[in-house]
Amino acid sequence: MTKYHVEAHRVTKRFGPTTALDDAGIAIADGETHALVGRNGAGKSTLVSILTGLQRPDEGEVRFSGLAAPALADRDAWRRQVACVYQRSTIIPALTVAENLFLNRQAGRGPIRWGPLRKRAADLLERYGVAVDARALAGDLTVEQRQLVEIARALSMGARFIILDEPTAQLDGPAIQRLFERMRALRAEGVTMMYISHHLEEVYEICQSVTVFRDARHVVTAPVAELPHDALVAAMTGEAGGVYRSRRGAGPGGGTARVVLAARELSLAGKYRDISLSVHSGEIVGFAGSGSSGKIGLAETLVGLHRPDTGTVTVNDTPVRDVPSALGAGLGFVPQDRHREGFVPLLSIAENATMTIAHKLGRHGIVAPSRQRARAVRLIGDLDIKTEGPHQPVADLSGGNAQKVVMARALADDPSALVVINPTAGVDVKAKQALLGAVEEAAERGAGAVLVSDELDDLRICDRVLVMFHGRIVKEVPRGWSDHQLVAAMEGVDA
Amino acid sequence: MTSVALRPGVKLARFRDLTLVPVIVLLLVVGAFANPIFLTAGNLTNVLQQQSALALVVLAEALILISGKFDLSLESIVGMAPAVAVMLVVPAASNGFGTELPAALAIPLVLLVGAAVGAFNGFLIVRFQLSAFIVTLAMLIVVHGLHLGWSEGKSLFKVPESILFLGSTTFVGLPVSVWFVIILFALAIVVLRYFRLGRALYAIGGNIDAARAAGIRVDRVLWGVFILGGTLAALAGLLETGRLGGISANQGVGMIFMVFAAAVIGGVSMDGGKGTIFGALTGVLVIGLVENILSLVGVAPEWRQLIYGMIILVSLIISRVVGGKAQD
Amino acid sequence: MTSVALRPGVKLARFRDLTLVPVIVLLLVVGAFANPIFLTAGNLTNVLQQQSALALVVLAEALILISGKFDLSLESIVGMAPAVAVMLVVPAASNGFGTELPAALAIPLVLLVGAAVGAFNGFLIVRFQLSAFIVTLAMLIVVHGLHLGWSEGKSLFKVPESILFLGSTTFVGLPVSVWFVIILFALAIVVLRYFRLGRALYAIGGNIDAARAAGIRVDRVLWGVFILGGTLAALAGLLETGRLGGISANQGVGMIFMVFAAAVIGGVSMDGGKGTIFGALTGVLVIGLVENILSLVGVAPEWRQLIYGMIILVSLIISRVVGGKAQD
Amino acid sequence: GTTNTPAATGGGGGKVGIDHPRADSDFWNSYIKYVPQMAGELKVETLNPTNSQNDVAKLVNNVQTLVGQGARAIVMAPQDTGAIASTLQQLESKQIPVVSVDTRPDTGKVYMVVRADNRAYGTKACEFLGEKLGGKGKVVQLMGALQSVNGRDRAEAFRECMKSKFPGIEVFEEPTEWDGGKAASMLQTRLEAHPDIKGIYMHAGGVHLAPTLQVLKAKSLLVAPEDPKHVFVVSNDGIPQEFDAIRKGEIDATVSQPADLYAKYALFYAKAAMEGKTFQPGPTDHGSTIIQLPNGLEDQLPAPLVTKENVDDKNLWGNTVG
Ligand SMILES: Nc1ncnc2c1ncn2[C@@H]1O[C@H](COP(=O)(O)OP(=O)(O)OP(=O)(O)O)[C@@H](O)[C@H]1O
Ligand SMILES: Nc1ncnc2c1ncn2[C@@H]1O[C@H](COP(=O)(O)OP(=O)(O)OP(=O)(O)O)[C@@H](O)[C@H]1O
Ligand SMILES: [Mg+2]
Ligand SMILES: [Mg+2]
């Protein structure tokens, strides 16, 4: 009989009317890397919070190496059992990177010696290939840098069991590969891991077995070899499915169609230089680039979040001065960090999804609740958002479903120009299809889209991909590129 | 996939505004037993009239809190705005500045002064990005300092008729000031519930970056809220002046504590983005009823403060138990 | 990949605590010109002594604010804790309770009462999950109510010698109360900078969920901070009683505004997790120097408030310009 | 003389509504304690007294409540004399007589004002200090709050008297806002700058006495009156602790503001009003004078200056309470 390092038995957890886990369980053998997959809202993160002692299950129990889990109040005991990269950031912005790495273990009983601590932090960052200064304030880091710090912290805790809840959702290719190297090394040392991701190819790359949750229930556990891709998707969704394939052929040629989004000689110190760009109606333009290539900064300028030092942006020939003017000119966009700029957590899905089109939901500044609800119900259906209904606060949604709400907002106005940044971060396979399909549909209706993504798969729907490196566009590749070709350009070694 | 029962969630969310209703009912029952006068129309009308100035300042503060900001200086506006306006109008012999502007200007001037203070607060906070708490704390002192300095600490007891009229006239059985409160609260409830502008306050208070990214003109709206807040506080001062028939150099002083107490026990969050105007109104009612009952019962003066504080604490606990959610 | 500019970030973060230093220098220069007495050791010692009670309450509030909470009731503890302790000790003829506990117990009793109030606040906020703002606002009234009720509003003129001693003795040239402030601030600065417990306050204030996930015993630490806060406020009351030689029913009343002003202009954020004890201390110094200069210059009483508020506002603006960051 | 006209409409039935201005000062607490005692002696029926916590808006609310409970006369002590106007008007229209204690409302009808002359306090203190200092030197005036009319009256009278009668004396004014901590700081700072200050006038013994003594003690200035270092201190209120300090030679005088007489005559006139009696200006049978105001009458009760000579006088209210 296999020796299980971690077991969760018949766990049930309810949040008000929602049942997040329904008599579900997991058993992870000693030393294996075990994948947990399931659609957005399947209950994965809820299980994580139960396995790390942050929440008490309504029913069921957790065991470590056959022994009952520590009492909920005994945080130290839990921390000895398990380290975790949570889906929601647990970085404290006002503290330095070094302190975040060694939070609550800066020293023993005695005083903290900051010099050595910084040194240890720098070593740790170096070991994990994270190029940030240990003395910087965590709040000044980019989203992916924070994620890397978070990963480095969890892996360095010395726990024999590590949970990673969607660690790669905000990472680009090379960073993911570095993470996997570390995970392999840890596994070689006998560390047990639970790995959650919506990138199924990663499951095959790094995990030995996989558990699937669907609608809060356990569906299947099997070695990854016994569950090929299509079977895994079928288990997750309850229906047959496959990899997302672009529905469209080549987009319209550059010359004929109307230009919906244009940038002229944009520069912004420290971010990008001399960018010119025309996006035509019906066209999807991708942006690729490694971390800090400036692609995010550029995209945020296109939607009016930054003011460029030089140059102009126009949407449908209307100059963009700020966000309202961009939206007014017919732009929709998905920001990079959904928690920071994507939604207002306490407000309902209906309200968040219609926030940019409130002026269209009634006259004289009135927002008619019935029309708002109707619009939201449609968007919830279109994007397949798992929720109690349009009135539910976005704060109560699972990560992927919250991302869909942000997408819903971008699409709410049938925009003629669309700028989406990492739109599929943290969404499940089916949802990814829905989101990318939504971008394609918008393009088919005649919108021009800019898609900025760290995921090569997303970029496949693009008619052309612009590769950025150190703040400049270094290459333009038409549809039909190979992964290798694009990655080489992104790394700056032009093939 | 969706279409799960909508009702319960909706109810719970609305319920949050009503957590003080059992407290109010309890107070009405206690009051009725304590003194037969309590439940008479006359007494209850008095309660409403006595709380009308507080109610308007609570309205102003609730709007500002929902937008995620803070304004302590409102209490000083309650005294200073009418005082300055009156001093501009009355002759120097009645402690005026000597400008003797036409008396008809008195009321517009009051509101203008309030709006100006609000605009200045808004400028420092929105444009200059200073902390709202500390700016308005300093402004609380500055505005009251202007009042003290100009009036030399003296009360103004020659007040234009137009202002006195507001404090003393009744209309369809209720004092005019109560009508003001009813109309302005109704307006605010409707605007915050059904209008873009109102919803924008919740969005800004809930997540200012997201609001900005959604195209809401955050700075403009916030500035407007501060100006509106100042104006409402000035109006409160006007009603209070009318009710009292004069302006003491202390008018409004110390009021801000009760304003926050009413707003926060009424469910408006100090963290922004949460709470309703109706909830704030129930907070005002609780405070008004408690004060009235304490007056009627005649608790020994030295114990009154204690009992007052205890009732607020107990209200808080009842509303926590009824509401079921952790507060913030 | 990236390599975020190191130096500026680090320096800026430390700098944040020092933004008031130019203001202090400016005040020293202005004071020196205004009155030759100002820069004498005697006068500056007086300033320190006069601000020592405020400083301790600011220390308490800064600890609580850094942990992301709030305590308004501290001002009432400043009056009530020593009053209750004294009443337990002195005979009924001097307004005591008649218990006449040994006088040696007076000082421990003061601290105990403060700790008890802090513990009760902590219980309601941490365990019962009530809003810290509104709980402590209610407790501000309740605690002062207890003071008023038990003392019947009378001042206590007969105070045990041990307490008076604290307020009147000097040691190596400085009043004992100033030594208290120096030692406690130094201790707090060291603990908050170099000890896990101190860093836990920042973690809790910065992101309570993250702190919990990192294994910090959040509830226990928070509760401890409230108890410590109450104790420090009681100590402040003790020093103030020693300085004034008696306890009026008003002791501490209205102080909390200045406490927040000092902490917040000193860079402690109302949102938690940000600011330092040293910064808070500079805030206290600014307030103390302003008050001293205003006394020495002899501004007309009716204009003093205004000038006081303006100086705070200007300090704020200077510190914003020097610090370069938006405040919160 | 006082003319008692017989009650116009039979008997003086009805209850008196009383509002206390505050419960956190020694003087007013003594007053509050005297009220039920005097009510018993004078056989006046009272409603439950209310307390307006030094806030005129609360006072107005309380008066409304008292009237709602059927008060036939009101005793109040409006610490703010301007913003009570419309309340007085309403009470007049309801024919409810008002006795105002301690302060004189600026406008609005009052049946009787019962107070000692606060301007006289300031003048008495000035004259005492001026003589003791021989017309030269420096004195500090620890003022109350600017917003308080009594504080203002005392301050102005003291200031004007010094200016006219003792031009050689320099006066420093400290706005303490009735706050002991502020008073101590301001006095300490002033003494640091001017160690040759020789006189102090405190507006309220209840809040200023202990801090002043403590500051003087720290400066080693708490010495016998014969000592050339002695600082002459005049207080105001007449509470027992001031008498103790006078006996010990720590302070030199205080103005005894008669808390007992305030309570007694407030109720006396309230009862008289309900009985329909009227009064004329002129001396009274209790050693005071009634004067005519534009809006009513004022009985100016005696407020003796208490010094070492008369500090043991049994008639002083400060000697009759614990
Ligand atoms: N605190 C909460 N309050 C209310 N509902 C919650 C809460 N936390 C989770 N839920 C609900 O529980 C369900 C499971 O959420 P969970 O976060 O575990 O999903 P997940 O599998 O991690 O999804 P994702 O892949 O999107 O991260 C969702 O329907 C979610 O809305
Ligand atoms: N305000 C700023 N001041 C100085 N440097 C900055 C500032 N903002 C960003 N940078 C730096 O500029 C570079 C580009 O940042 P940017 O955020 O645009 O990259 P990015 O587009 O997010 O990269 P990626 O495509 O991987 O997401 C980074 O090195 C970043 O650290
Ligand atoms: Mg999740
Ligand atoms: Mg980026």
DSSP state letters, C189-255:
HHHHHH-HHHHHHHHHHH-HHHHHHTT--HHHHHHHHHHHHHHHHHHHHHHHHHHHTSB-TTTTTTH
pLDDT tens-place string over residues C182-191: 999 999 999 9
**Residue A174: pLDDT band by 50, 70, 90 thresholds?**
confident
CATH of the domain at A82: 3.40.50.300
Task: List D residues 66-95 in contact with B (Cβ-Cβ < 8 A).
Answer: 66, 68-69, 80-87, 89
A381 and A269 in one domain?
A: yes
Angle at C259 between CA C253 and CA C265, to 5 degrees: 150
Indicate the top mutation candidate among A12, A14, A15 to test ligand 1's pocket, ranked by most ligand atoms within 8 A of CB: A15
Strands A464-469 and A472-478, sheet pairing = antiparallel
For residue range D181-236, list pLDDT tens digits in order.
Answer: 888 888 988 888 889 999 999 998 888 998 999 899 888 898 988 889 999 999 99
pLDDT at D10: 39
Residue B107 confidence (pLDDT) above 90: yes
Q: Which two tokens stand for residue A447?
A: 């919108």
Number of domains in chain A: 2
pLDDT at C8: 40
Q: Is residue A447 part of a domain?
A: yes
Residue B3 has pLDDT above 60, yes or no: no
**Which of D22, D192, D220, D221 should be substituted to probe chain C, the one whose Cβ sees the most C Cβ atoms within 10 Å?**
D192
Domain membership flag for residue A284: yes
Q: Are residues A38 and A170 in the same domain?
A: yes
Give the ipTM: 0.85
- Flag whether B9 is in a domain: no
D1 has pLDDT over 80: no
Report the neighbours of D using a cutoff of 3 or more CB pairs below 8 angstroms.
B, C
What is the pLDDT averaged over residues B254-274? Answer: 89
**Which of B138, B257, B264 has its CB closest to that of C312?**
B138
> Is A254 a residue whose pLDDT tops 70?
no
> Residue A363 burial (CB < 10 Å; 0-12/13-18/19+)?
exposed
Looking at the fold, whether A228 and A145 belong to one and the same domain comes out as yes
How far apart (Å, rounded) are the C-alpha atoms in residues D203 and D23? 18
Residue C311 included in any domain: yes
Q: Which of D174, D177, D146, D141 is nearest to D160 (CA)?
A: D141
pLDDT value of position C16: 62
* Per-residue pLDDT at A256: 67
**pLDDT the model gives residue A494:** 59
pLDDT of amino acid B164: 84
Alpha-carbon distance B168 to nearest alpha carbon in chain D (angstroms): 8
pLDDT at site B85: 94
Residue A170 and residue A60 in one domain:
yes
Tokens matching residue D6: 């017989």
Tokens 């230093």 — which residue?
A: C21
The answer to whether residue C233 is domain-embedded is yes
* Of residues D270, C255, A257, C134, the one with CA closest to residue B287: C134
C-alpha pair distances (Å), C80 with each of C74, C118, D22? 10, 13, 18
Ligand 2: centre distance to CA A142 (Å):
7
Say whether both A155 and A263 belong to one domain.
no
Would residue B6 count as lying in a domain? Answer: no
pLDDT at A208: 94
A38 lines ligand 2 (CB under 6 A): no
- The 10s digit of each residue's pLDDT in C78-111 is 999 999 999 999 998 888 888 888 888 999 999 9
The whole-number pLDDT of residue A245 equals: 59
pLDDT for res B5: 36
pLDDT at B16 over 70: no
Please indicate, yes or no, whether residues A260 and A387 belong to a single structural domain of this protein: yes
Place of tokens 């219980």: C123
* pLDDT reported for residue D287: 83
B241: containing domain: 15-323
- Supply the DSSP string of D248-295, one letter for each residue: HTSS-EEEE--HHHHHHHHHHHHHHHHTT----SEE-TTS-EEEEETT
pLDDT given for residue B103 in this prediction: 87
CATH code, domain carrying B270? 1.10.3470
Compute the C-alpha angle B315/B317/B318, nearest 5°.
65
Is B3 part of any domain?
A: no
Is A9 contained in some domain?
Answer: yes
Stretch B259-266: mean pLDDT, rounded? Answer: 90
Q: Give the span between the Cα atoms of A444 and A281, in whole angstroms.
A: 9
Nearest chain D Cα distance for residue B295, angstroms: 6
Min mean pLDDT across A323-332, B163-172, B314-323, D282-291 is at B314-323
Please say if the pLDDT value at position A222 is more than 60: yes
* Alpha carbons D174 and A264: distance in angstroms, whole number: 67
**Spatial CB neighbours of A406, under 8 Å, sequence gap ≥ 6:** A334, A335, A338, A342, A343, A352
pLDDT at C76 (0 to 100): 96
A207, A237, A267 — which closes off a domain? Answer: A237
User: With bands split at pLDDT 50, 70 and 90, how would you rate the model's confidence at B236?
Assistant: very high
Residue type, B214: A
What is the band of A148 on the pLDDT scale with cuts at 50, 70, 90? Answer: confident
pLDDT digits (tens, 9 = 90+) for A75-94: 888 888 888 999 888 889 88
Confidence of residue D56 (pLDDT cuts 50, 70, 90): confident
pLDDT at C164: 87
Question: Which range of residues forms the domain containing residue A224?
Answer: 4-91+141-237
pLDDT, tens digit (0-9, with 9 covering 90-100), for D128-179: 999 999 999 999 999 887 777 788 889 999 999 999 999 999 999 888 888 8
Report the C-alpha gap between B299 and B293 in whole angstroms: 10
The ligand whose atoms approach the alpha carbon of A293 most closely is: 2
CA distance A395 to A392: 8
Whether A378 and A472 map to the same domain: the answer is yes
- pLDDT at D9 (0 to 100): 40
Residue B56 lies in a domain: yes
8 A C-beta contact, residue C298 and residue B100: no
Q: Which residues of A415-448 are buried (b: 16+ CB within 10 A; e: fewer)?
A: bbbbbbbbbbbbbbbbbbbbbbbbbbebbeebbb
What pLDDT does A252 receive?
Answer: 53
* A119 domain residue, yes or no: no
State pTM to two decimals: 0.88
**Phi and psi, residue A79, nearest 5°:** -65, -25
Asked if A192 and A44 sit in the same domain, the reply is yes
Chain D residues within 8 A of B291 when measuring between CB atoms: 58, 61
Residue B8 inside a domain? The answer is no
Pick from A202-211, C135-144, D71-80, D81-90: least confident:
D81-90
User: What is the Cα–Cα distance from D222 to D200, expressed in whole angstroms?
Assistant: 13
My answer on whether A224 and A315 are in the same domain is no
Ligand nearest to the CA of A143: 4
Q: How confident is the model at residue B6 (pLDDT cuts 50, 70, 90)?
A: very low
How many domains does the structure of chain B reveal?
1
* Residue A435, domain member (yes or no): yes
pLDDT confidence of D19, banded at 50, 70, 90? very high
DSSP state, A449? E
Task: Tell me the per-residue pLDDT of B29-75, one tens digit each, with 9 for 90 and over.
Answer: 999 988 888 888 888 888 898 899 999 999 999 999 999 999 999 99
State the pLDDT at residue C101: 87
My answer on whether A260 and A223 are in the same domain is no
* B209 in C contact zone (CB under 8 Å): no
One domain, residues A212 and A349? no
Residue C1 domain-assigned?
A: no
Q: Nearest by CB to C213, which of A90, A145, A292? A: A90
Question: What does the DSSP 8-state code read for residue D23?
Answer: S
Amino acid A301: pLDDT: 92
Write down the mean pLDDT value for chain D: 87
CA distance B217 to B285: 34
pLDDT confidence of B20, banded at 50, 70, 90?
A: confident
Residue C324 has pLDDT above 70, yes or no: no
Q: How far is the CA of A132 from the centre of ligand 2 (A)?
A: 12
Question: What is the torsion angle, in degrees rounded to the nearest 10, for the CA atoms of residue A389, residue A395, residue A398 and residue A402?
Answer: 80
**Best mutation target, C54, C244, C258, to test chain D (most D CBs within 10 A):** C244
